[in-house]
């Protein structure tokens, strides 16, 4: 079976508490409102000239630095998920390939907003079956501050920058026990929209509508996914959009919060970065051992609309 053998992540150096952010951008908000509505207390934001490519590269470098020998020439495929890049070409994945010296790989970007890492891992899992050896590198990377309007308090306080990465050791088969459910649907109300305003693109979000979509459509589809495949699992690793949504997942699906890890308090919503950053933090904290004995469900949701759930033994 193909297997995740290493993880990495990168968060920019600058941490902004809710109060720091409010003061820096003169946002009409309060720490209490942000904390109570979302669970967020702070986020990391990149400096101006740090690009999404730089952020993706640093997550990849962090991953490779944890291995005991250089495998960069053994990487056959690199996929990077992001919604905040303004570099269609060279793609983020091309930039990662060049920086890591992964000269034997082919590399491609995908965009499925906050579901990006789920879709990228699905793609990586399928592609890795074509290779009986070598490695596949999957990264979710965002510089959400590229696309935030800091005058729009309903989005500015919710997002952060960062990237996470996982490395799959290929052996011509899928990840062990792999099951998947992926979906996209029309967002007629443009509830999550990258909107052009004069010379810039800004993210707009109808937060309550998105909240209801997750609370109904995403939770129900996750319940079906668990029931259809009769899944038992150690962790449900969800996209980090709102702590209140994670609480709803636990309550509706009758899952202990111990099984639903969260880092939204310190990292906020890093879109495609959120699930792989959390996975890497869990590995660092020894909650995930990467020894093939634990079962996980990953669940992502967001713009598009898009959502999906993956199950495998990690
Ligand atoms: N500070 C203070 N007040 C605020 C702020 C703020 N930062 N933002 C909005 N408000 C006000 C609103 O104006 C509104 O005031 P009003 O009642 O006078 O009109 C009030 O607070 C309530 O606003 P709501 O939007 O209804 O608040 P809600 O409880 O729904 O929380 C939130 C908003 C946190 C955005 C929530 O709806 C949410 O998390 N939605 C889901 C987001 C999500 O899952 N995104 C994932 C995908 S993102 C992607 O794909 C890129």
Percentage of the residues of the chain whose pLDDT score is greater than 70: 100
Establish whether residue 115 lines the binding site of ligand 1, counting it when its CB lies within 6 angstroms of any ligand atom. Answer: no
CA of 249 to the centre of ligand 1 (A): 19
For residue 139, the cross-strand partners are: 80, 165
Give me the domains of the chain, ranges plus CATH numbers: 1-314 (3.40.47.10)
Q: How far is the CA of 268 from the centre of ligand 1 (A)?
A: 14
239 pLDDT above the threshold of 90: yes
Output the six-digit token pair for 93: 């994945």
Confidence at residue 199, expressed as pLDDT on a 0 to 100 scale:
85
pLDDT per position as a tens digit, 171-229:
999 999 999 999 999 999 999 999 998 889 999 999 999 999 999 999 999 999 999 99
CA of 83 to the centre of ligand 1 (A): 21
> Pocket of ligand 1, candidates 35, 37, 183: which has the most ligand atoms within 8 Å of its Cβ, to mutate?
37
Tell whether ligand 1 has an atom less than 6 A from the beta carbon of residue 155.
Answer: no
Question: Tokens 């890890």, residue?
Answer: 261
Residue for token digits 């509508």?
209
Ligand 1 pocket residue status of 270, Cβ below 6 Å: no
Task: Provide the residue count of the chain.
Answer: 314
pLDDT at residue 287 in the model = 98
Which candidate, 249, 224, 221, places its Cα nearest to that of 235? 249
pLDDT by residue (tens digit) across 250-304?
A: 999 999 999 999 999 999 999 999 999 999 999 999 999 999 999 999 999 999 9
Task: Give the residue whose CA is nearest to atom 48 of ligand 1.
Answer: 302
Coil, strand, or helix at residue 301?
Answer: strand
Spatial separation of the C-alpha atoms in residues 147 and 83, rounded to whole Å: 9
**Averaged pLDDT, 21-46:** 98
What is the rounded CA–CA span in Å between residue 104 and residue 74? 7
pLDDT of residue 198: 85
Average pLDDT over residues 14-33: 98
CB-ligand 1 contact for 21 (6 Å cutoff):
no
Kind of pairing, strands 161-169 and 135-143? antiparallel
Quote the pLDDT of residue 197: 87
Ligand 1 touching residue 12 (CB < 6 A): no
| Average confidence (pLDDT) over 132-152 | 97
- Cut 0.85: pTM above it: yes
């Amino acid at each position: 079976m193909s297997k995740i053998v290493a993880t990495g992540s990168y968060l920019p150096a600058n941490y902004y508490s809710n109060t720091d952010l409010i003061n820096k951008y003169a946002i009409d908000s309060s720490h209490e409102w942000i904390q109570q509505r979302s669970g967020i207390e702070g986020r990391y934001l990149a400096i101006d000239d740090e690009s999404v490519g730089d952020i993706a590269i640093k997550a990849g470098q962090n991953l490779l630095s944890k291995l005991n020998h250089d495998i960069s020439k053994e990487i056959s495929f690199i996929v990077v998920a992001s919604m905040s890049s303004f570099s269609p070409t060279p793609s983020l994945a091309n930039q990662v390939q060049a920086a890591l010296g992964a000269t034997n790989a082919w590399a491609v970007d995908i965009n499925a907003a906050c579901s990006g890492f789920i879709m990228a891992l699905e793609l990586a899992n399928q592609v890795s079956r074509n290779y009986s050896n070598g490695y596949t590198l999957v990264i979710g990377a965002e510089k959400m501050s590229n696309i935030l309007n800091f005058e729009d308090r309903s989005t500015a306080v919710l997002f952060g920058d960062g990237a996470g990465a996982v490395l799959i050791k290929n052996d011509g088969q899928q990840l062990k026990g792999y099951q998947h459910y992926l979906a996209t649907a029309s967002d007629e109300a443009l509830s999550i929209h990258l909107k052009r305003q004069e010379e810039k693109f800004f993210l707009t979000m109808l937060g309550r509508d998105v909240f209801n979509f997750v609370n109904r459509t995403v939770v129900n589809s996750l319940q079906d996914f668990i029931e259809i495949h009769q899944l038992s699992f150690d962790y449900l690793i969800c996209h980090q959009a709102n702590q209140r949504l994670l609480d709803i997942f636990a309550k509706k699906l009758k899952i202990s919060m111990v099984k639903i890890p969260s880092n939204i308090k310190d990292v906020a919503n890093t879109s495609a970065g959120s699930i792989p950053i959390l996975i890497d933090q869990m590995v660092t904290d020894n909650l995930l051992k990467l020894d093939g004995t634990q079962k996980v469900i990953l669940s992502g949701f967001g713009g598009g609309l898009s959502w999906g759930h993956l199950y495998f033994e990690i």
